[in-house]
Amino acid sequence: MTHSDSAESIKDLADKYIFPTYKRSIALIKGEGCRVWDDQGKEYLDFVGGIAVCALGHSSPIVTKALEEQSRQLVHVSNLYYTRPQAELARLLVENSFADRVFFCNSGAEANEAAIKLARRYAREKSGPGRHTIICMEGSFHGRTMATLSATGQKKVQVGYDPLLEGFKFVPFNDLQALKRSVDGSVCAVMLEPIQGEGGVVVPHQDYLKGVKELCIEKGMLLIADEIQTGMGRTGRLFAHEHFGVKPDIMTLAKALGNGLPIGAMLGTEELSVVFGPGSHASTFGGTPLVTAVSKAVLTSLLKDGWVDHCRAMGEYFKERLEGLKKTHPSVKDVRGLGLIVGVELDRAAAPIVQACLEKGFLINSAQEKVLRFVPPLIVGKEEIDRLIGALAEALKE
């Protein structure tokens, strides 16, 4: 690995010119599979994966091939025109989900923004004005735009942005009775993550989502599933809601859909599509030929190359190893998750463990103060998992 020719380091440049909205650590310059390298040439095993983004790993040849081929054909045109990669990705998503229609955008927050707008517009068309409230969950995370921030059930990310948007109310996650008590005539939808990621990798009990869906049907509300972190095979099924035997009315995707390229998608039923006609919603860069060609290649690989099954098997192995760690380390209070979204709750702050692992050559992160979160590439193997367990064991002793 070689140093930059610039006299200023990457860190110095970033700290001088970029808004300090992130607490950054090392400067990364290269990745391959489950490994990345910093600007000093040090190698790391990556169990963050761009926060559940790089499902097929870093510098995936599948991504590179699609990117190179499409970049020679057509990179961007307006959505005033049809393009084949976008249409074919939409078909692939529809054929492998509950949905009938897809709206493309650039990020998870934008996908959730589109879902909020669709739910409210549909309710207004169907029931008239006044039915606009969306019930969201405490501990949820739906994005950083004003609407998705207002829909997020974590006060810490809302500080300083008052007034938040009206029309959202919150109930405890995994508490069906609390949800039932909160429903009134103003509610048009329930929005939730099938598994809360930023909330600390919280998995609901098996009957919870079924109960939510039944309540939505009974009260004429839409169910919005935010699968931005849990979708695209992350849980060992293509979409997390499949584990619970329910079908949402609206689903949002992003992150691993592009394996690193910026894309979001909102999926919904045919019934809902009638209120999203020309001019009702739009995105200049949503679903460009370049990103949709890559996303189609990523989704095709997930479906045909066995990565979802591999994820399920590696997730089970990972949790077994972590349960073994729990038996020998009293500071580990809980191990939870599905597939390769795994959380370890500690009896202490997680940040020092994250830092200790970084120093040992492993990238992990925390979700909530005392929860370690692991969302590695779905291609991760037993050898990498075993190496991480060894490093974790050492870090927990220190």
Asked if 334 and 345 touch (Cβ cutoff 8 Å), the reply is yes
Catalytic residue among 226, 244, 249, 296: 226
The C-alpha atoms of residue 29 and residue 27 are separated, in whole angstroms, by 7
Answer yes or no: 39 catalytic: no
The C-alpha atoms of residue 32 and residue 129 are separated, in whole angstroms, by 52
Catalytic residue among 255, 296, 319, 370: 255
The C-alpha atoms of residue 253 and residue 299 are separated, in whole angstroms, by 12
Instruction: Give the CB-side neighbour count of residue 218, counting CA atoms within 13 A.
Output: 9
Answer yes or no: 255 catalytic: yes
The C-alpha atoms of residue 6 and residue 10 are separated, in whole angstroms, by 9
Catalytic residue among 141, 239, 362, 374: 141
Answer yes or no: 239 catalytic: no
Instruction: Give the CB-side neighbour count of residue 190, counting CA atoms within 13 A.
Output: 31
Read off the tokens for 178: 């609390």
Asked if 280 and 79 touch (Cβ cutoff 8 Å), the reply is no
Dihedral angle at the C-alpha atoms of 127, 166, 281, 217, nearest 10 degrees?
A: -40
Provide the 3-class DSSP secondary structure of residue 142.
coil
Residue numbers annotated as active site: 141, 226, 255
